[in-house]
Homo-oligomer: A and B are copies of this chain.
């Protein structure tokens, strides 16, 4: 069995913890280092109770050990400053922040605070395999997609591929609902439990960063709004689109099944029976699955597309491991087979 050594930089955050969970359970990986400034020398299990069996203590991010693959789960702006150090110790670098996610430096000037090492942008490959699989084999710098953009791209890609939507389509409205893990583990009054339970809180009334990412990879200009709702994990994107030509349910099924029938992690869920008739974060919580579905609204010449993922897995750590499996030529679903729980509480 081929095994690779891996390290996780930024191991105490939610995303870092998920990477450690997936990699520790992955047949082809051995986790040799997890770094943290705040919890240096503490056990990983102290931060992540589901990892108490992992015999590993956090170490200082300034003494990086050499590994085959380094995963960086740090906030925006960190890995763009450390990427040279990363490549000194690792053959492959997988970054889960936005630092290498957008293709051009100019976009970082507009939507972030510029870029410290723009020369790496050309070399970076966008992680989402459902969109970029052919460019991943052998890639040595992989950039994880943003979770909101991931949910939206997975929902709308089949319509773009089928020519139903294009750059000059009418309005594309994307209304996203996300859990509290998306705000990261950051503190602050707004994310305290008393203030956060039972919210439907506009979190990003207009979402330029997500729009820039979606436009870069789908060629669609979208109008984006994000709300925080009462979940910890999960992202649900509802896309309201108005195709120029009328489209039928048969076209939609053909487009979505055509796009995803062979994708190991994608499910088309649309108007079937039972309780879970459309895509829902509960159905995919903890898994690397994505659920997409649609409803036709002829009266308004509208198609409503639903797309649900777990922002911690399909939206970040799972997508990073999936892309790394493809980059290293490993089985795509290796380490990513968990199918979720039912019944399950708030994800």
B345 near A225 with CB under 8 A, answer: no
A240: contacting residue among B173, B208, B271, B281, CB under 8 A: B173
A177: contacting residue among B170, B177, B221, CB under 8 A: B177
A205: contacting residue among B195, B278, B345, CB under 8 A: B278
**Most chain B CB neighbours (cut-off 10 Å) among A173, A190, A306, A343:** A173
Report the Cα distance A323→B345, complex, angstroms. Answer: 40
Nearest CB of B to A273, in Å: 11
Kindly report which residue of chain B lies nearest to residue A237, judged by CB atoms: B200
A132 within 8 A of B: no
Nearest CB of B to A133, in Å: 28
Kindly report which residue of chain B lies nearest to residue A223, judged by CB atoms: B300
Interface size range on A against B:
35 or more
Known: A223-B297, A230-B231, A306-B205. A199 touches B240 (CB 8 A): no
B295 near A205 with CB under 8 A, answer: yes
A1 within 8 A of B: no
Which chain B positions have C-beta within 8 A of A297? Answer: 205-206, 223
Which chain B positions have C-beta within 8 A of A272? Answer: none
Which chain B positions have C-beta within 8 A of A230? Answer: 198, 229-231, 346
List 10 tightest A-B contacts by C-beta distance, closest first.
A198-B346, A205-B295, A194-B343, A175-B175, A230-B230, A206-B297, A200-B236, A223-B300, A202-B278, A173-B240
**194-247 of chain A: CB within 8 A of chain B:** 194-195, 197-202, 205-206, 208, 211, 221, 223, 225, 227, 229-231, 234, 236, 238, 240, 242
Which chain B positions have C-beta within 8 A of A166? Answer: none
